[in-house]
Amino acid sequence: MAVGEVVRDDRVLRFTRGLSLFIVPFLVVAWAILYLFPDRTAQLWSWVIPVQMTSMVLASAYLGGAYFFVRVARERHWHHTGAGFPAVATFASLLGVATLMHWDKFLHHHVAFWLWAGLYFTTPFLVVGAWLANRRYGVAPAAGDLVLRPGERAVIAVVGVAALVQGVVMFVAPSAVIDLWPWPLTPLTCRVVAAVFCLGGAGVNAWVDPRWSSLRLMLQVEVVMLVLILLGAVRARGEMDDGRALTWPLLLGALGMLVGSAYLWIRYERHSPAG
């Protein structure tokens, strides 16, 4: 081996583990505030979220993220977790940009705001740094790996692209979406929900890396988020307008993704060494 050559042993670096453990408590506290007390954001959060459903959607991303980073901290193989890092960096970056765009909407006298600003102005760089440093040690798919079928890879990648496109449209042109959305949105909350949608972009990795072991954790995070969102919709059903154009497509899409996730889990997990 040449001097300075990286040994691709699929390790997870200590920095990556440490960053993950640092992030988890913030995510858990944020989930608890927004999901358990969605009507108290004026007192407990960094900005007032006028609709409880938006609070619970953001909270679902936080608990899904907490689960993801707990797993990263314990993981021995980078390729099991690597697909999530670009999605997390995109999510955090969009929230940082949204903060600057809607600076006057935030409660600058709250400690929660300065924690929010500090995290979203630094986390994207830390997450990207961890991804760039760690991906050098990742291993490519090899003979004998349990891989998805081409049709399954294509469907997952298309869903990931669709989530990204939806998120970009909502972030760039919230006025084009607000009147179609199942519950009331403001330009700020539309951009926050857009950031949550962009987390779904992790599915695009299935086209590049078809290993079940690379998708497995992303699927678990997705299920955590979707279940919380659907439960939130039941809790906040008074805020939902079933006459809006996107109400039923979003509901059926979420249910379809859960069914698809169950199918993939049943099909592949019984054959997985990690199962």
Evaluate whether 262 touches 220 at the Cβ level (below 8 Å).
no
Predicted TM-score (pTM) of the model is 0.94
Which H helix or E strand runs over 155? helix 150-172
What residue segments make up the domains of the chain, in order of their start?
Answer: 14-271
Nearest to 216 by CA among 265, 144, 259, 160: 265
The CA–CA distances, whole Å, from 239 to 53, 55, 139, 186, 225 equal 7, 12, 47, 14, 19
Low pLDDT (below 70) residues in the chain: 1-5, 272-275
Average pLDDT, the chain: 94
Q: Give, to the nearest 10 degrees, the angle between helix 52-74 and helix 84-101.
A: 140
The tokens for 109 are 């006298």
Q: Tell me how far apart the alpha carbons of residues 162 and 181 are, in angstroms, rounded to a whole number.
A: 16
The per-residue pLDDT for 264 is 96
DSSP 47: B
Residue with tokens 């506290």: 29
